[in-house]
Structure 1
Amino acid sequence: MKTKKGLALTGNYVLLIVLGVLFALPFLYTLYTSLVTMQDVNHLAGFSKWTLANYKLFFTNDAYNVPQWLWNTVAMTAIVIVGNLIINPMAGFALAKLDFAGKKWIYWIVVATMMVPYQMILIPVYVNVAHLGWLNSVLGLTIPFLYQSLYIFMLRQFFISIPGEFIEAARLDGLTKMGAFWRIVYPLARSSLITMSILAFSGTWNSYLIPSTFTSDPTKYVLVVGLNSVKDMFFENTPLIMAGVVLATLPILVFFFIFQKQYIEGVSSSGVKG
């Protein structure tokens, strides 16, 4: 019996390793191609032929302005994540634990907006951003996205699972509702908040539609938009394009690997109650 279980466990590990390698192959190919010259593309080149020239070109050529694009992306992503870490939990807590007029209507509005593709409201948002004078600015790329209906719903589902006795005990100890939220409830949602942060990070960092629509000044581009302009200029320079793909992808992979345990916990603990 133990032998059968051992063989089954070994088989599962082998299957997971094979699947992991298969899923990693596209990124490994991209990374390899970014380290070789154009002559060695689609050929197996030795370590001696690998070079960082493509990455160096990105950061040293003023025509690309990658450092500025990278800074714009970091600033946009950081502001959006911080806003989501503040606004979404507060809204989710209110919908889960507080009683106020119109609560059910607001909840169903949040659910309904989850079903609307953002492309459908892009023009009204663009018009509002233009009227406010936020085009080609970090405000236009961040303020409309400081909250997300999906994350409000996800956090509401988690907060429902928290016993009301925790909040009542905190109130008896002299905390206000906001004090109970920030000091008792908010720390309990750590896994869900990290899950939300990973999703918000990947969605914002890789965002192309909004930044390309709201910005026309090359100095205001984010990394994805800027690298896409490089692709248009050097479409046939595959190693250079692949270096740009690695620059855009690597931060997301690093962020995920750091918080992968909390991400899995957050996915398993969110949205299980209605």
Structure 2
Amino acid sequence: MKERKFTGRILLYVAIIALGLLFAMPFLYTIYTSFISMRNVNTLVGPDQWSFANYYVYFTNEAYDVPQWFLNTLIMTSIVVLGNLIINPMAGFALAKVDFKGKAVVYWIVVATMMIPYHMILIPVYVNVAQLGWLNTFKGLTIPFLYQGLYIFMMRQFFLSVPGEFIEAARIDGLTKMGAFWRIVYPLANSSLITMSILAFSGTWNSYLVPSTLANSPDKYVLVVGLNSVKDLFFENTPMIMAGVVLTTLPILVFFFLFQRQYIEGISASGVKG
């Protein structure tokens, strides 16, 4: 019986690994192709023929400023993620643990915003940003996106599971509601916060529609928009295109793998309650 269970477990692991490799193959092919020359496309060559030449072209060619685009993306993403880590938990806590008039109305407004595709409100956002003089600025690329209805809802669901006794005990010890939130409740939401960070990071880093609409100056391009603007130069150069794909994808994968355990815990903890 033990041998049969052991054999079954081995077969299960083999099947999982094979399935994982199957799903990973497209990205592994992309990485491989980005290190070879055009003449070796669709052939297998040894590591002695791999090089960083394609990446070197991106970062050294004076016709386009990939380092600046990379920096712009990093700044924009960092600001948006930080803003979401502050504003969304505060709003979620208020909707979960603070009693105020119109609370139910505010909650359903937040839920309703989750049902509206962002494409439908892009023109009003553009008009407002233009009226404020924020076009081609980091303010225009970040401030309208410092909160998300989905993440407010997700944080509310977590805070509903936090016992009210924790907050009452903190109040008895002399903390205000804000003090209880930041010192007691906020640290408890670590898994949900990391989940939100990963989703906000991936969504912002790979965002194309909004940055291309609100910033049309090359020095304010983010990486995805900038690489798309020069793709015609490498239309027939598959390794160069693959190198661009790796540049836009790899940071997200690294960020995810660093926090994958907390991400899974956060997804489990943010299930619908109440």
Instruction: Please give the range of the TM-score, normalised by the shorter of the 2 chains.
Output: over 0.9
Equivalent in the alignment of 1:237: 237
Moved more, 249-258 or 43-52: 43-52
Counterpart of 1:89 in 2: which secondary structure?
helix
Equivalent in the alignment of 1:116: 116
Report the CA distance between 1:16 and its aligned residue: 1.3
Q: Aligned partners of 1:165 and 1:5: how far apart in 2? A: 46
Pair 1:141-2:141 in alignment: yes
Q: Aligned partners of 2:166 and 2:72: how far apart in 1? A: 41
| Correspondences of 1:81-230 after superposition (within 5 Å) | 81-230=81-230
Q: Aligned partners of 2:235 and 2:136: how far apart in 1? A: 26
Report the CA distance between 1:8 and its aligned residue: 2.6
What amino acid maps onto 1:162 in structure 2? V
Q: Aligned partners of 2:202 and 2:190: how far apart in 1? A: 18
* Structure 1: tracts of 5 or more residues without a match: none
- Taking only the aligned residue pairs, the percentage that are identical comes to 75
Equivalent in the alignment of 1:262: 262
Q: Aligned partners of 1:239 and 1:49: how far apart in 2? A: 13
What amino acid maps onto 1:58 in structure 2? Y
Q: Aligned partners of 1:138 and 1:164: how far apart in 2? A: 39
What amino acid maps onto 1:191 in structure 2? S
Q: Aligned partners of 1:154 and 1:61: how far apart in 2? A: 44
Report the CA distance between 1:189 and its aligned residue: 0.0
* Per-residue deviation, residues 55-102 of structure 1 (Å, max 9, x unmatched): 001111111200000000000000000000000000000000000000
Q: Aligned partners of 2:260 and 2:26: how far apart in 1? A: 21
Report the CA distance between 1:115 and its aligned residue: 0.5
Equivalent in the alignment of 1:54: 54
Q: Aligned partners of 2:232 and 2:133: how far apart in 1? A: 29
Report the CA distance between 1:264 and its aligned residue: 0.6
* Structure 2: tracts of 5 or more residues without a match: none
Q: Aligned partners of 1:116 and 1:59: how far apart in 2? A: 39
Counterpart of 2:99 in 1: which secondary structure?
coil
Q: Aligned partners of 1:242 and 1:225: how far apart in 2? A: 16
Aligned residues: 274
Q: Aligned partners of 2:57 and 2:68: how far apart in 1? A: 14
- TM-score, structure 2 normalization: 0.98
Q: Aligned partners of 1:232 and 1:56: how far apart in 2? A: 18
| Correspondences of 1:36-75 after superposition (within 5 Å) | 36-75=36-75
- TM-score, structure 1 normalization: 0.98
Equivalent in the alignment of 1:30: 30
Counterpart of 2:230 in 1: which secondary structure?
helix
**RMSD value, Cα:** 0.8
Moved more, 2-11 or 66-75: 2-11
Q: Aligned partners of 1:8 and 1:145: how far apart in 2? A: 49
Report the CA distance between 1:43 and its aligned residue: 1.0
Report the CA distance between 1:183 and its aligned residue: 0.2
Runs of 4+ in 1 over 3 A off after TM superposition: none
Equivalent in the alignment of 1:77: 77
Equivalent in the alignment of 1:253: 253
What amino acid maps onto 2:81 in structure 1? I
Report the CA distance between 1:111 and its aligned residue: 0.4
Q: Aligned partners of 1:194 and 1:63: how far apart in 2? A: 38
Q: Aligned partners of 1:95 and 1:7: how far apart in 2? A: 51
Counterpart of 1:115 in 2: which secondary structure?
coil
